[in-house]
Structure 1
Amino acid sequence: MRIASVEDDPSQAAQICQLLEEAGFTCSSFAAGSDFLRALREHAFDLLIIDWQLPDVSGYEVVSWVRQHAGRLPPILFLTSRADEADIVAGLAVGADDYLAKPVRPAEFVARVRALLRRAYPSAPHDDQLMRQGCYVVDARRRKIMISGLDVELSPREFDLALFLFRNIGRLLSREVIEQAVWGRAMEAGSRTLDTHISRLRIKLALRPDNGVRLMSVYSHGYRFEEAGVAAAEQSDA
C-alpha cells in the first residue's frame, strides 16, 4: 500500500515514514501542501496523512481539494496538534476520515492507519494478490481475470492496465498516472494508446453495470473505475 505523508516538520516526517515502512507500507513524504498536490497529478496513493498547519496552504485546504477532485478515495487521516472539538468537527466535515492528535503514539498511529485501509478497501486481501469485485476475480499472481468463473484472454499490457484499474477502484485517475503505472512513461500528446487499450478492456471484460462495475471517461482528466452502485448513487445525489 502506498501512503503519502504531508508534514513540514523534518523530525516528525521522518518518524511517520519510519513507522509506516516498519509496518510494511511504502511512504512518500512532502513538506508542503503544494508539493503534494503537484505529485498527486502523477501518482496514486492508497491513503493520505496530512498535517493541518503547513507552510503554504493549510491541511484543511489540501483535504478540500482532494475530495473535490478525487472523490471519496483515498482515505485521509488528519495528524495535527490542533485537537479542539471544533477543529476535529471541521476536519471531518471537509472530508477527512479520521483525526489523530500529536504527539504520535506509534502503536495507535499504525492501528489507525490499518483500520482506515480496511474500511476503505474491504475487498482487498492483505497480500494484494486476489481481488473480487462484482462478477470479477483478479488473480495478480497467476495474471488471470475471471468473469463469473470463466477466464478472460488478455494481452500482458491489457492485464497490467486491468490490474491497475481494479487496484484503484473508486479513484479519479489522470491519464498521466495510468500511463506511468502501466507503460512506465507518459505518452506524447495526442496518443490514443491508452484509449485503445481501455476500449479493448471494456469489450473483453464486459465492464458494465450489470457486472457490478462502471468505467467512466472524465473529460480533460482521465478515467474513473467504480462499483456500479456507487456511481449510480453519486449521480442521483448530484
Structure 2
Amino acid sequence: MPDPMNIALLSGQSAHLKTIPDLLARSGFRCNVFVSPRALIQGVSQAAYDMLLIHDELPDTSAVDVIRTVRCARSRDLPIMMLGDGSNEEALVEALDAGADDYLCGPLSARVLIARIGALRRRATGDRQRQGLVVRAGPYQLNSVGRFALLHGERITLTPKEFDLAMLLFSNAGRVLANRRIEQAIWHHELPPLSRALAGLMSRLRKTLRLSLETGISITVVYAHGYRLDIHDDDPMHQPNPLAGKPFALAHP
C-alpha cells in the first residue's frame, strides 16, 4: 500500500482553515500545520512534502514572497495551492505568476478541496514523468529538468510561468494557440476578460528569451484568436520557415 500523501499547510491565523487538517486526515492524507513562513521554509527544506497549501492572507508576510522563497529552494517539484476568497484579482494573478500551481477560492468546500488536491497531484506526477525532455527550435533548447533555456549555448533563467509558456509555444511551433488554451495550460483556469496577465507574461517571455527575427524565433499575435510561435530561416527576408508547424525536435539528454 503506498505511503499517504504528505501535505504542509501554512494557515497563518486564519480560523476557517482549522478544520483542514482533520479533513485531510479523514481523506487519508498526512498534514503538518505551520503557523509562520519561517517555520514552513525550514520544514519543507528538511522533510519530504508532496504538496503545500497556503492561505493568501498572512500576518506580517506576503504569501507571494513565501511562494518565491519555496520556489528558489525547491524549484517546481513541490506543488503549491493557494487558499483564499479570490476577491483580489491582481493578488491572485501575482500568486500564480510567482509559482503557485492552483488557487482555490472560498467559501471552502471539502469535496472541491480534495478533488483539486487529487487533480494537482496527478498533474505534478505527469510533469515528473516528462522530466528529461529537451525541446529544440532554431538556436534554442528548453530543458525540462533544470527548467531553463539555452540560446546558442548560453543559459537563460526563466520564471516558472515563463518556462511553462515557452514549453507550450515551442512545442506547438507554427500553430495558433487560442488564449483560452494558453490560460488553461499556464494558470489552469481562464482569466477574466479584461485581464492583462497573459499579454504581460508574453511580453516578458519575448524579452527574457530575446525572441526576434534576429534570433530566428518570434511570437506573432493572431488578432482575436491567440498567439503563434514562428521559426524563421536565415535568408535576408526572414521568410517563415516552411517547416514551422511540423513536429518539433525531441531528445533526452
TM range (shorter): 0.5 to 0.7
Report the equivalent of 2:23.
19
Report the equivalent of 2:213.
none
Report the equivalent of 2:120.
116
Report the equivalent of 1:70.
74
Separation in 2, partners of 1:41, 1:98: 21
Report the equivalent of 2:108.
104
Separation in 1, partners of 2:93, 2:14: 27
Report the equivalent of 1:90.
94
- Which of 54, 63, 69 is residue 58 of structure 2 equivalent to? 54
Separation in 1, partners of 2:146, 2:75: 14
Gaps of 5+ in 1: 125-132, 135-169, 171-208, 213-227
Matches within 5 A, 1:1-40: 1-9=5-13, 11-40=15-44
Q: Is the 8 A contact 1:7 1:13 kept in 2?
A: yes
* 1:12, distance to aligned residue in structure 2 (A): 3.1
Separation in 2, partners of 1:79, 1:24: 20
Q: How many residues in Structure 1 have an aligned counterpart in Structure 2?
A: 141
Report the equivalent of 1:231.
145
Q: Is the 8 A contact 2:8 2:53 kept in 1?
A: yes
* 1:235, distance to aligned residue in structure 2 (A): 5.2
Where 1:8 maps in the other structure, the secondary structure is coil
Matches within 5 A, 1:92-171: 92-122=96-126
* 1:8, distance to aligned residue in structure 2 (A): 2.1
Separation in 1, partners of 2:145, 2:30: 29
Question: Identity, % of aligned pairs?
Answer: 31
Q: Is the 8 A contact 1:67 1:95 kept in 2?
A: yes
* 1:102, distance to aligned residue in structure 2 (A): 2.3
Q: Is the 8 A contact 1:32 1:56 kept in 2?
A: no
**Residues 168-191 of structure 1: CA distance to partner in whole angstroms, max 9, x if unpaired?**
xx7xxxxxxxxxxxxxxxxxxxxx
Q: Which shows bigger deviation, 228-237 or 6-15? A: 228-237
Larger radius of gyration: 2
* 1:82, distance to aligned residue in structure 2 (A): 4.4
- Residue identity matched to 2:110: P
Separation in 2, partners of 1:99, 1:232: 25
| Greater helix proportion | 1
| Change over 3 Å in CA distance of 1:87–1:123 after alignment to 2 | closer
Separation in 1, partners of 2:10, 2:22: 14
Where 1:12 maps in the other structure, the secondary structure is helix
Counterpart check, 1:81 vs 2:85 = yes
TM-score (normalizing by structure 2): 0.50
Q: Is the 8 A contact 2:51 2:79 kept in 1?
A: yes
- Residue identity matched to 2:84: T
- Residue identity matched to 2:62: S
Gaps of 5+ in 2: 134-141, 151-155, 158-253
* 1:11, distance to aligned residue in structure 2 (A): 4.1
* 1:9, distance to aligned residue in structure 2 (A): 3.3
